[in-house]
């Protein structure tokens, strides 16, 4: 993760009717670590009571044989967190849990609600006491207050909240996999040994030996029973379902390349973005070098389209912590500086084309360009496998203030000159739509066309 990149949000994983469900969830979460490194947690049930363990840090740091042995049962849900709302502290770790009129309920959330403040004010004025500063807790309060069985309470909650949410909700006898009506965040279903698993990304099915079945549809509530002969999958169509608006930044950058989201391989999408870049910006250069890991697959697509050699002249140090989990910009930049080294002899005297997956603030990109210059590159060109970021995200990606975005108020040539490049090019919005499909994705951080109204003083 690079210094000037937006932060990740969260990863969720659940297992139902699975032997040693908590261990299965632990393994699944380890494959979703890229979606949140700040804290993690697992809640399990044996049908009688809930067991939970949560902590700050990576899955491998929070869980061990001892803690997993305490998490009994054949149903469990888990969560990896990076805070986009609420502070980074233990009380905000998920799954969140309440004991209410409907019994024990645990909830794991990926996404960002856009009307949290208004809902929270309403709930607080009605006497609700919040234990966390997350938007996710609002959903638990709405469930607890509904005068209806849980399935109906979930529907009523979905009618009130706005924004992005892929959810796992667990009681002592059921689990629910839910995706918001736009499907901003991914959520997939898999099967294993007669049970069910649910994951933010399909890559986590591979490590637990599950078979990918399908994605949870936007607006859908999938109900999975803990026990009983008929404990199969029951899909409850959600009347409120809207045209799908999957975050386009998932295939561009966030999701792992070994995942399939809404039927599309992330690897193939990234490769095709590189091929599209080659159509839009053919460059006469001696060497193509990706910024690892984000630009690697697009660079391979670009090189294959134009018959150019791709070399890993920038090499990553995998033993440096991920920069985005650091609390300060200065610290993030310091970590980013130590993450990538350059094999200078590969670029000396060459016309170099750098391929990256995005430019957010631009300070790290500028440093990389300076690095190449001091190594003796003859020309330095850069291509980015998405359009310029000019707008904030309200659905769970923590982009900086628009005033700090490299593309805000600047032409592409102005950005190039600020970064010290000989030329700069971005994949066009149309090019991205050609790769991902014209409909079915959110492109708001590129074009400002928000599917769900952003928070305002009145509505937030």
Question: Which chain residues interact with ligand SF4 by CB under 6 A?
Answer: 184, 247-249, 393, 395, 397, 442-445
Contact 314, 292 (CB under 8 A): yes
Q: Measured from the CB of residue 252, what is the shortest distance to ligand SF4 in angstroms? A: 8
Tell me the C-alpha to C-alpha distance, in Å, between residue 451 and each of 181, 286, 430: 11, 42, 18
Question: Please, what is the minimum distance in Å from the beta carbon of residue 64 to ligand SF4?
Answer: 35
In the bound state with ligand SF4, the residue whose beta carbon lies nearer, of 140 and 360, is 360
CB half-sphere exposure, 230, CA atoms < 13 A: 1
Which residue's CB is nearer to ligand SF4, number 114 or number 202? Answer: 114
The span from the CA of 377 to the CA of 375, in Å, is 6
What tokens were used for 18?
A: 């699975």
Name residue 316's beta-bridge partners. 340
Tell me if residue 10 is catalytic.
yes
Q: Nearer to ligand SF4 by C-beta: 353 or 397?
A: 397
Nearer to ligand SF4, 409 or 448 (CB): 448
Task: Name the token pair of 274.
Answer: 């590189």
* Min separation Cβ 356 and ligand SF4, Å: 16
Least Cβ distance, residue 119 to ligand SF4 (angstroms): 20
Q: How many CB atoms lie within 10 A of CB 401?
A: 9
Reading the block at residue 313, the tokens are 């002249």
Strand partners, 225: 174
> Which residue in this structure is represented by tokens 């993760």?
1
CB-CB neighbours of 458 under 10 Å: 6
**Alpha carbon 321 to chain centroid distance?**
18
Q: Give the nearest distance from C-beta 243 to ligand SF4 in angstroms.
A: 14
- The SS3 assignment for 435 reads helix
Taking the complex as a whole, the smallest distance from the CB of residue 404 to ligand SF4 amounts, in Å, to 16
Q: Phi-psi bin for 396: left (phi > 0), alpha (psi -120 to 50), beta?
A: left
Token digits of residue 325: 């989990």
What's the length of the chain? Answer: 460
Other Cβ atoms within 10 Å of 456 Cβ, number: 10
Is residue 130 within a helix (H) or strand (E), and if so which, with residue range?
Answer: none
Residue partners of 83: CB distance under 8 A and separation at least 6: 38, 92, 134
Distance between start and end Cα atoms, the chain: 30
Q: How far apart are CA 219 and CA 166, in angstroms?
A: 10
Matching residue, tokens 């299965």: 24
Residue 372 Cβ, how far from ligand SF4 at the closest point, in Å?
28
Encoded tokens for 341: 């080294």
**CB nearer to ligand SF4: pick between 74 and 259:** 259
Catalytic residue (choose from 10, 247, 393, 445): 10
Eight-class DSSP state of 310:
B
Closer CB to ligand SF4, residue 176 or residue 249?
249
Q: Which is nearer to ligand SF4, 205 or 426 (CB)?
A: 426
Active site residues: 10
């Amino acid at each position: 993760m690079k210094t000037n990149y937006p932060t990740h949000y969260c990863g969720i994983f659940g297992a139902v009717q699975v032997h040693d469900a908590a261990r299965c969830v632990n393994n699944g979460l380890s494959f979703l670590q890229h979606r949140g490194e700040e804290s993690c947690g697992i809640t399990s049930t044996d049908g009688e009571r809930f067991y939970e363990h949560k902590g700050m840090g990576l899955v491998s740091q929070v869980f061990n044989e001892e803690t997993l042995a305490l998490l009994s049962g054949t149903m469990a849900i888990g969560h990896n967190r990076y805070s986009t709302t609420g502070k980074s502290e233990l009380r905000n770790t998920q799954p969140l849990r309440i004991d209410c009129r409907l019994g024990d309920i645990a909830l794991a959330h990926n996404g960002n609600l856009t009307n949290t403040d208004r809902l929270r004010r309403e709930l607080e004025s009605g006497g609700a006491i919040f234990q966390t500063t997350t938007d996710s807790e609002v959903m638990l309060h709405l469930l607890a207050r509904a005068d209806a069985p849980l399935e109906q309470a979930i529907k009523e909650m979905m009618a009130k909240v706005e924004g992005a949410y892929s959810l796992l909700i667990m009681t002592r006898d059921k689990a629910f996999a839910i995706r918001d009506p736009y499907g901003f965040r991914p959520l997939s279903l898999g099967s294993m040994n007669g049970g069910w698993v649910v994951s933010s990304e399909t890559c986590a099915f591979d490590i637990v030996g599950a078979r990918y079945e399908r994605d949870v549809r936007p607006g859908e509530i999938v109900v999975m029973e803990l026990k009983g002969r008929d404990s199969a999958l029951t899909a409850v169509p959600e009347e409120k379902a809207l045209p799908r608006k999957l975050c386009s930044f998932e295939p561009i950058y966030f999701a792992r390349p070994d995942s399939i989201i809404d039927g599309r391989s992330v690897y193939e999408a990234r490769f095709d973005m590189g091929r599209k870049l080659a159509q839009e910006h053919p460059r006469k250069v001696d060497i193509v070098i990706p910024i690892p890991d984000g630009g690697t697959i697009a660079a391979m697509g670009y090189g294959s389209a134009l018959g150019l050699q791709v070399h890993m002249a920038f090499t990553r140090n995998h033993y440096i912590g991920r920069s985005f989990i650091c609390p300060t910009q200065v610290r993030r930049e310091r970590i980013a500086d130590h993450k990538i080294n350059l094999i200078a002899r590969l670029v000396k005297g060459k016309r170099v084309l750098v391929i990256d997956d995005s430019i957010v603030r631009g300070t790290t990109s500028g440093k990389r360009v300076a690095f190449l210059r001091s190594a003796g590159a003859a020309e330095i060109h850069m291509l980015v496998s998405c359009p310029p970021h000019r707008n904030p995200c309200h659905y769970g990606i923590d982009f900086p203030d628009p005033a700090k975005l490299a593309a805000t108020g600047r032409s592409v040539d102005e950005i190039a000159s600020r970064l010290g490049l000989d030329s700069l090019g971005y994949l066009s919005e149309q090019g991205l739509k050609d790769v991902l499909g014209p409909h079915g994705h959110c492109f708001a951080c590129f074009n400002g066309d928000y599917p769900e109204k952003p928070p305002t003083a009145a509505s937030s």
